[in-house]
DNA sequence: TTATATTTATAGCAATCGTTATAAAAAACA
DNA sequence: TGTTTTTTATAACGATTGCTATAAATATAA
């Protein structure tokens, strides 16, 4: 069972590959995103990527492996965006709002239609019965928790929070705010409503009013 | 297309029904809960309820209608449990913790295995493409938001919160805490961890430490 | 009894599921 | 030019999908 061949090979021997695995993975992700893992037949993936089923299997193994790869990529994107938002010398409230804005920019597609969070919308459903998906979800949640907590700990050191503030407790709420936004986006909430939720949550977490952008 | 027949009929005419529609709905809910809507074939529902497919269709219409009914019942249970927790003269922190405890008692089955929230775990996945499910999810979320906000407004009136506290903002966090617990339960988090999350969140929302139970 | 009404169990429908066998197509190597 | 290697497209595999036609089973009513 050969998986994807070396991608950096200079000159392969046989018929050249007609697809771009990277682009195909993105298209597959978009498709799973809308209709979920169980709800997405493989021929929809084939149609979306323009790949034939055999090529799909040669490139990614099977449906499950393809989904796991999409999920892993999504977590990478999420963590990168979150860390970038929380990094630097921005004030705490600004950093949190930036993290939520980054997430929301994922939750609404180019066309503006809401699809919510890929993890909350597709992976969480499978997590109970699928140990690999569950592990990925749990790990991703832990990463986000840790990033928020680190930023809040820094905030207390910098004097942005009162000295008796509990960074771990505030991190729970920072994560929870991300999660509630993710859920609501999938349930059809509009962007302004979500922004308002982010603003209110941030103001409580930071202990200071956050002006509307 | 006849749906369920009059349930209170004194003496029906033909062969007596061999199933209890109420019990069957519960069994169906349990099954959907684990494997989701798209991931649960109808014959698993048939096996779980002990009903034959034709009886299932006579009683509930079709798979989609059966799921919608299960979802509606779940929301009723959730709201009833939440309102009972938030009602009465309990201190705010106690009321919130009771609401979270009630939710968590749903998220762990009798056998102790985690299955998380029925809505977050199964309905949210379908909500993007299914307008009826989306409507139910959005409505349920609004109900919970309203119940939390009402309780927090009362808390401020009672002097449990500072006069400049923002009940709407705190309600966002109270709902968000429920949501993050629901997600984490589905991702395999254990009960003590979730209790600690509820405790930390409640302490920030109420502005006072909440002792471990 | 017989007729009527309703539910049951069995079996099967066409459609779709994830996956793969097969062979033609397109490249490098000899 | 062939030979070899890899990917392609087509088609199909058995299993499963949501759903239903059919007829036997079981009740009341005449």
B56 falls within a domain: no
If one counts the domains in chain B, the total is 1
Q: What percent of chain A has pLDDT over 90?
A: 88
Q: Is residue B12 part of a domain?
A: no
* Structural domain includes residue B48: no
Q: What range does the domain containing B108 cover?
A: 72-206
Q: Measured between alpha carbons, how far is residue A139 from residues A9, B87, B158 in Å?
A: 33, 37, 42
B5 Cβ contacts chain C strand, under 7 Å: yes
Among B44, B37, B99, CA closest to B70: B37
Structure tokens that stand for A193 in this block: 């409503």
Residues 6 or more apart whose Cβ sits within 8 Å of residue A159 = none
Q: Is the CB of A39 under 7 A from strand C?
A: no
What would the pLDDT profile of A40-58 be if each residue is shown by its tens digit?
Answer: 999 999 999 999 999 999 9
Q: Binning pLDDT at 50, 70 and 90, where does residue B151 land? A: very high
Of B140, B131, B130, which is closest to residue B103 (Cα–Cα)? B140
Tell whether B186 is covered by a domain. Answer: yes
Whether any strand C atom is under 7 angstroms from the Cβ of B52: the reply reads: yes
Are A102 and A81 a contacting pair, CB within 8 Å? yes
Distance from CA of A13 to the nearest CA of B (A): 41
Query: Is the residue at A134 inside a domain?
Result: yes
Interface contact A166-B35, CB threshold 8 A:
no
pLDDT at A13 over 90: no
- Torsion, Cα A72 A74 A79 A81, to 10 degrees, reads 150
Could you identify the residue written with the tokens 């029904």? B17
Measured distance CA(B184)–CA(A137) in Å, rounded: 9
Query: Does residue B44 lie within any of the structural domains?
Result: no
8 Å CB contact between A168 and B164: no
pLDDT at A1: 35
Query: Where is B156: in which H helix or E strand?
Result: helix B131-157
Helix (H) / strand (E) element for B153: namely helix B131-157
| Mutation site, B184, B206, B207, interface A, largest A CB count within 10 A | B184
Q: Under an 8 A CB cutoff, do A204 and B166 touch?
A: yes
Structural domain includes residue B85: yes
**Neighboring chain B residues of A200 at a CB cutoff of 8 Å:** 166, 168-169, 172-173
In a domain, B111, yes or no: yes
| Number of other CB atoms surrounding residue A27 within 10 Å | 18
Please give the residue of chain A at the shortest CA–CA distance from B121. A125
pLDDT digits (tens, 9 = 90+) for A80-125: 999 999 999 999 999 999 999 999 999 998 777 889 999 999 999 9
What region does A116 belong to: left with phi over 0, alpha with psi -120 to 50, or beta?
left
How close does chain A come to B111, measured CA to CA in Å?
Answer: 14
Which domain CATH number covers B113? Answer: 1.10.357.10
Instruction: Give the residue with minimal CA–C1' separation from C26.
Output: A15
The candidate with the shortest Cα–Cα distance to A179, out of B212, B45, B201, is: B201
| Option in A35, A126, A141 nearest B184 (CB) | A141
Residues of B 45-64 whose CB lies less than 7 Å from any atom of strand D = 52-54, 57, 62-64
pLDDT at B144: 98
Point out the residue nearest to C21 (C-alpha to C1').
A54
Total Cβ atoms within 10 A of residue A106: 18
> What's the pLDDT score for residue B17?
92
């Amino acid at each position: 069972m050969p998986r994807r061949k070396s991608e950096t090979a200079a000159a392969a021997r046989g018929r050249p590959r007609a697809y771009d695995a990277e682009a195909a993975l993105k298209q597959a992700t978009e498709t799973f995103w809308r209709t979920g893992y169980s709800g997405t037949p493989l021929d929809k993936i084939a149609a979306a990527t323009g790949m034939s089923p055999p090529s799909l299997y040669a490139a990614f193994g099977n449906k499950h492996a393809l989904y796991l790869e999409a999920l892993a990529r999504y977590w990478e994107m999420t963590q990168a965006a979150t860390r970038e938002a929380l990094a630097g010398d921005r004030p705490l409230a600004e950093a949190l709002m930036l993290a939520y804005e980054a997430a929301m920019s994922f939750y609404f597609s180019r066309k503006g239609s809401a699809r919510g969070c890929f993890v909350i919308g597709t992976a969480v459903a499978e997590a109970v019965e699928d140990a690999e998906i569950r592990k990925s979800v749990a790990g991703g949640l832990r990463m986000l928790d840790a990033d928020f907590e680190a930023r809040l700990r820094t905030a207390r050191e910098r004097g942005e929070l009162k000295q008796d503030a509990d960074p771990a407790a505030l991190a729970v709420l920072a994560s929870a705010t991300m999660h509630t936004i993710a859920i609501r986006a999938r349930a059809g909430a509009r962007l302004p409503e979500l922004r308002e939720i982010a603003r209110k949550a941030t103001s409580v977490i930071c202990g200071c009013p956050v002006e509307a952008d």
